[in-house]
């Protein structure tokens, strides 16, 4: 039997070193955010560290199954807080919630149209990249409709990162906090943890099999909420597992910022950032207006109207004790509307820009 040569083992050692460096950098940044009292410290730290590593050319990636496992874990976390009240919220305030979603979708469509008219991006790319939610689904569908998937991915994950950062800052200002994990300090029984993990696995499998948007998270959320609301299964997760889930989501977003993507899109970055923060600002003003129409606080309204980042917003909502039911009702409906209207908006922008389909 021949032993592996030093040359063949070098990539493995380099990857291990990169992961070790990413973990250490993530932990240091997360600790700083925790000291500053940010509600999503264990999400922001890994995300910013991963952005730095990705831009510098790190070749490591979170496996797809790892990201889905992280989403399933967050789905179970949210299920513990929202139970079955999302449906009741949708039925009670359905028209107003639909109006909230409509404002966000129309604003994002106009953003894509403007980016196309000033000739910074092709029409279909601007349309898919400006869609306010479902980043993974948008990137997957964009290529089928003639868009550049690299540009779409860059626009989508810039938006997700900006939404997570601004939502965390707003939550820190409005709600304060110490950056602790929801449920930290609890010592869940092993059997309860195993039952929760079973719900996560079964729910994620069902959500992905049924092709539900963000199915790895929505499946466990719906199944877990139903079981938790009826008292059949209590959704409990140890803090270390939640920390891993937060890191998995943060790393997945951050490592999308590769050198090749940045080089291909650097000319459009200023406009993309202006458009992204403009959309966030518009949604923020709409959130302020909602506080006069509904008995909800400003933080709940802001998180509900944030243009995307469903898993990140859910983490912040649970961590700040906002009205999670309302936030998830609006965010889930927006995600479904974006998935359905995405192709129509892309075609409209392409026609208005005079592109041949």
pLDDT at res. 356: 42
Q: Is position 2 within any domain?
A: no
**Structural domain span for residue 202:** 20-352
Q: Is position 1 within any domain?
A: no
pLDDT at res. 203: 94
Q: Is position 174 within any domain?
A: yes
Q: What share of the chain is helix, strand, coil (3-state, %, to 5)?
A: 80, 0, 20
Q: Is position 11 within any domain?
A: no
Q: Is position 34 within any domain?
A: yes
Q: Is position 10 within any domain?
A: no
Contact 204, 198 (CB under 8 A): no
Ramachandran bin of 196, using left for φ above 0, alpha for ψ from -120 to 50, beta for the remaining angles = alpha
Distances (CA, A) of 299 to 114, 175, 318, 350: 29, 8, 12, 36
Query: What is the count of structural domains for the chain?
Result: 1
Distances (CA, A) of 268 to 143, 202, 233: 19, 41, 49
Q: Is position 13 within any domain?
A: no
Query: What residues have CB less than 8 Å from 211, skipping those under 6 apart?
Result: none
Mean pLDDT by 10 residues, the chain (357 residues): 54 90 96 84 90 91 92 86 66 80 84 78 74 71 70 82 88 70 59 90 93 84 85 83 90 87 79 85 89 87 86 82 82 80 75 57
Identify the CATH number of the domain in which residue 30 sits: 1.20.1530
pLDDT at res. 82: 65
Q: Is position 4 within any domain?
A: no
**Residue 127, both tokens:** 């349309």
């Amino acid at each position: 039997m021949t032993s592996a040569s030093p040359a063949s083992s070098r990539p493995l050692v380099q990857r291990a070193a990169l992961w070790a460096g990413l973990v250490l950098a993530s932990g240091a940044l997360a600790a700083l955010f925790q000291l500053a009292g940010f509600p999503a410290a264990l999400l922001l730290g890994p995300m910013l560290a991963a952005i730095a590593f990705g831009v510098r050319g790190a070749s490591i990636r979170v496996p797809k199954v790892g990201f889905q496992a992280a989403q399933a874990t967050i789905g179970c976390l949210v299920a513990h807080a929202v139970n079955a009240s999302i449906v009741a919220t949708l039925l009670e305030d359905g028209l107003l919630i639909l109006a909230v979603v409509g404002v966000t979708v129309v604003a994002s469509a106009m953003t894509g149209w403007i980016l196309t008219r000033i000739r910074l991006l092709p029409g279909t790319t601007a349309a898919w990249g400006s869609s306010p939610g479902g980043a993974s689904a948008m990137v997957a569908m964009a290529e089928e409709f003639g868009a550049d998937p690299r540009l779409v991915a860059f626009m989508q994950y810039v938006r997700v990162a900006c939404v997570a950062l601004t939502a965390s800052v707003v939550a820190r200002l409005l709600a304060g906090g110490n950056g602790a994990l929801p449920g930290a300090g609890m010592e869940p029984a092993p059997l309860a943890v195993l039952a929760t993990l079973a719900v996560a696995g079964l729910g994620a499998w069902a959500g992905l099999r049924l092709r539900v948007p963000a199915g790895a998270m929505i499946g466990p959320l719906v199944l877990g909420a139903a079981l938790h609301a009826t008292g059949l299964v209590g959704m409990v997760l140890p803090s270390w597992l939640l920390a891993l889930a937060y890191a998995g989501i943060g790393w997945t977003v951050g490592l999308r910022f590769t050198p090749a993507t940045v080089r291909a899109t650097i000319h459009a970055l200023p406009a993309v950032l202006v458009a992204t923060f403009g959309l966030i600002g518009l949604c923020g003003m709409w959130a302020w207006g909602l506080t006069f129409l509904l008995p909800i606080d400003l933080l709940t309204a802001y998180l509900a109207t944030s243009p995307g980042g469903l898993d990140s917003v859910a983490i912040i909502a649970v961590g700040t004790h906002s009205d999670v039911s309302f936030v998830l009702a609006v965010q889930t409906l927006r995600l479904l509307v974006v998935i359905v209207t995405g192709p129509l908006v892309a075609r409209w922008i392409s026609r208005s820009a005079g592109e041949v389909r």
